[in-house]
Amino acid sequence: MNLEEVIKNCKKKNREAQAILYNNYKDSLYSLSLKYCTNKEEAQDNLQDTFLYIFQNIKSYKNKGSFEGWMKRIAINKAIDRYKKSIQMAPIENYSFKNEDVFIENINEIPLSIILKFIQKLPNQYRLVFNLYELDNFSHNDISNMLTISVGTSKSNLFRAKKILKGNIQQYITQTKVHG
């Protein structure tokens, strides 16, 4: 069954087509969820919420644009909704920092799994902004609308996320050199 047929049959609530869709996309959507969640269990919950939403709302997909992109957007939105419900994202209007990029030396020497763990440990609002901006290429205006924060808060949260990541990565590199 090709993707068009799978989608068509999923719209008819065909369980076999739903299983095919799930099996074909669970890994990529789980990896995406890991970027936005603090641990594997949350990512798994987000994955399940995402597929429930996809199966309940697949009729709203009008075959315009990438179907995988549509599903990824749902996964990201589900993760954001989870955090909007669980915490109050406090706006930080009076930020002051130089408009400089936080450069991390030797980042290529660190396993991706370690970097992902550092990203997952970021405070929620910093992690969300970092992932949306750096990993999924959303603009600060888009992030502002998605998270209901100001553009300035988005920029500030991104800067602070990068500073925390830089500190954690530099500490990891130092410890690896000492113990390695």
pLDDT digits (tens, 9 = 90+) for 46-75: 999 999 999 999 999 988 889 999 999 999
- The residue-averaged pLDDT of 79-94 equals 62
Reported as a pLDDT band with limits 50, 70 and 90, residue 178 is: confident
The predicted pLDDT at position 17 comes to 96
Ranges of CATH 1.10.1740.10 domains, the chain? 3-88
Q: What is the mean pLDDT of residues 74-80?
A: 93
Mean pLDDT of the chain: 86
Given this model, what pLDDT does residue 94 score? 39
Positions of CATH 1.10.10.10 in the chain: 112-178
Rounded to two decimals, what is the model's pTM? Answer: 0.70
CB neighbourhood size of 24 (10 A): 12
Domain at 3-88: CATH code: 1.10.1740.10
Mind listing the pLDDT tens digit for each residue in 23-45?
999 999 999 999 998 889 999 99
CATH code at 112-178: 1.10.10.10
